[in-house]
Amino acid sequence: MNSADVIPLPIAVLICGCLLAGAFFALAGAVGLVRLKSFYQRVHAPTLGSSLGMGLILVSSILYFSLARGHPVLHEILIAVFLTLTTPISLMLIVRAALARDRFEGNPDVPPVETLD
Amino acid sequence: MRRWLPYPAMSLFILATWLVLNQSLAPGHLLLGVILGLVLGAAFGRLQPPPLRIRDRRRLLRLGAVVVADVIRSNLALLRILVAGRARAVRSGFVTIPLQLTDPYGLAVLACIITATPGTIWMSYRAREGLLLIHVFDLVDEGEWVRTITERYETPLREIFE
């Protein structure tokens, strides 16, 4: 696609910056998922990639394809909508399974049942 | 009209999604989108969703802006902890938050907000007692988290949905 030639240099730098920053957030989240100590800490890490990481990559994609094709390309917004709506579902399933198991095993690190104290 | 189009907003959203996905306004795609909107809108009605009413649209937009700012801020905070290798030094823990919000849409939005914000995770919610359990990555003060969630998110959500 040689239509990328029409993109002015400052915008191209912005697009690359967003893309690399987004990829960095996703990478940091993935490394955190592997390196962190406890399960409940580890599930925090990938949300870096599914929030700001995703946002930055989508912004660079919208900018690039809108400029390269000469008309607004916005279907990336759907990715953001679906990812934001579906992440809590899978995350809650995993986390609640872990919580149920830890409570069953009597793990002292998790609160038994929600109470106000 | 009500029989064919019980959820006009949902049908319109499906039509718009279809057109944006296909990046086209060609008559064929319009027709397919309208059919999908009607059929899936009717199917959605069979799920018997509770009635949704948004009382304050401007408040909703303002909450959206607050959430975007919070997501960016907490992304940077968590990234800083991970990159600096401070993860072992921070204290993570659970916080129980009493909620007065009972509207299912409000709770769903709150779940999306808490999950989309790195550093907090929605663990479980007991509807009868209205108690929400979250896990916080960098937990300094439990009381401050209770205040943050209730004042920043729950109060506006109650104004919007209840």
Chain B nearest C-alpha distance from A10 (Å): 23
Q: Is residue A76 part of a domain?
A: yes
How crowded is the C-beta side of A73, counted as CA atoms within 13 Å? Answer: 15
pLDDT tens digits, residue range A26-41?
Answer: 999 999 999 888 899 9
Residue A17: C-alpha distances to residues A4, A14, A25, A56, B70 (Å) = 16, 5, 12, 9, 21
Looking at residue B131, the DSSP 8-state letter turns out to be E
- Chain-chain contact of A45 with B23 (C-beta, under 8 angstroms): no
Residue B104: C-alpha distances to residues A41, B110, B140 (Å) = 28, 10, 30
How much of chain A, in percent, has pLDDT values that exceed 70?
93
Which residue of chain A is at minimal alpha-carbon distance from B116? A51
Given a contact cutoff of 8 angstroms between Cβ atoms, the answer to whether B25 and B19 are in contact is yes
Q: Is residue A19 part of a domain?
A: yes
Q: Is residue A43 part of a domain?
A: yes
Report the alpha-carbon distance of residue B87 to residue A37 in Å, rounded: 8
- Chain-chain contact of B98 with A43 (C-beta, under 8 angstroms): no
Tens-digit pLDDT profile for chain B (162 aa)?
567 778 888 899 999 999 988 888 889 999 999 999 999 988 888 888 888 888 888 999 999 999 999 999 999 999 999 888 887 888 899 999 999 999 999 999 999 999 889 899 999 899 888 999 999 999 988 899 999 999 999 999 999 988
B114 contact residues in A (CB cutoff 8 A): 88
Domain count for chain A, please give it.
Answer: 1
Q: Token pair 């009972």 is at which residue?
A: B102
Which residue of chain A is at minimal alpha-carbon distance from B126? A114
pTM of the prediction?
0.85
Which residue of chain A is at minimal alpha-carbon distance from B92? A41
Q: Where are the domains of chain B?
A: 8-47, 57-161
pLDDT tens digits, residue range A94-108?
Answer: 999 999 899 888 887
Given a contact cutoff of 8 angstroms between Cβ atoms, the answer to whether B125 and B132 are in contact is yes
A36 contact residues in B (CB cutoff 8 A): 87
Indicate the pLDDT class of residue A8, thresholds 50, 70 and 90: confident
Chain A nearest C-alpha distance from B38 (Å): 20
Residue A63 lies in domain: 8-105
